[in-house]
Amino acid sequence: MTRWVPQMPSIKTTASLLLRVLVILSILVLAGCNGPLSTLDPSGPRAAMVAMLWWAMFWSSVALFGLMMALLALVWVRPGFGSKLAPSKWIIYGGLVMPGILLPVLVGYALYTGNRLLPHALETAPARINAQGVMWQWQFSYPELGDLGSTGVLHIPAGKPVDIVVTSGDVIHSFWVPRLTGKIDAIPGRENIIRIQADRPGSYQGVCAEFCGRGHTEMRFQVRAHAPEEYESAVLEAAE
């Protein structure tokens, strides 16, 4: 009586299966890369920096995952693969050397990006707008344009950097316009500055990114970027 022995899949078959899985996962991930609150659909230079950092982290993790799956596949289709290498060397090379090379590069790039996001001094000082978070809304005022009061919509000139002076009137909030810039906390009694810029005129959504109570999910606002020649008139009209 002949005993049936299961056939192990070939390396080519295993690699093909893994490739299909990665393609499907990539499609699912990329399907969520756009939208009004997507950091992966930037409309400003600072948001583009954040998106670039995300992609660098993403593809690094994909490469690392692919390497681990390739090693797993080799062990599966070729039992005993790697047995000539001592376990201590697997730990040293795989657990210390490889992360020791990859992680410092990613951390260094993240620190470099974070430094570029800071509101460094420019030859021409950017316009300044005050943003105050109060449960559960945002209030914006434009001191450089006169005593215009405040408005629930943030108006900015397109194509120009603007410094937003962020503070809070009660608890800690967080100012975030995903498609235009990073995020920064709004802290009572403290002023934090974040630079924002839109590539072109349009409307963008902003949110509070720090849980601040039962109305947190409704603490949203709009950013309207206007052509530079229309900016002041838009602010004056909104303040009436």
Other beta carbons within 10 Å of 42: 19
Instruction: Report how far residue 129's alpha carbon sits from residue 195's, in angstroms, rounded to the nearest whole number.
Output: 10
Structural domains in the chain, sorted by start? 11-117 (no CATH), 127-239 (2.60.40.420)
Residue 218 host element (H or E): none
- Token pair of 197 as six digits: 């810029």
Rounded to the nearest angstrom, the gap between the alpha carbon of residue 200 and the centroid of all alpha carbons in its chain is: 20
Specify the pLDDT at position 23: 67
Q: Is 6 exposed, middle or buried (0-12, 13-18, 19+ CB in 10 A)?
A: exposed
pTM: 0.77
112-151 b/e (C-beta count within 10 Å ≥ 16 → b): ebeeebebeeeeeebbebbbbbbbbebbbbbeeeeebeeb
Specify the pLDDT at position 219: 93
Specify the pLDDT at position 25: 64
Residue 113 host element (H or E): helix 98-117
Q: At what angle do helices 98-117 and 45-77 cross, to 10 degrees?
A: 170
Phi and psi for 86 in degrees, rounded to 5? -60, 145
Instruction: Report how far residue 174's alpha carbon sits from residue 187's, in angstroms, rounded to the nearest whole number.
Output: 8
- pLDDT tens track of the chain, all 240 residues? 555 545 555 556 666 666 676 667 666 565 556 677 888 999 999 999 999 999 999 998 888 888 888 888 887 877 777 777 777 877 887 778 888 888 899 999 999 999 988 888 888 889 899 999 999 899 999 988 877 767 789 999 999 999 999 999 999 999 999 999 999 999 999 999 999 999 999 999 999 999 999 999 999 999 999 999 999 888 888 876
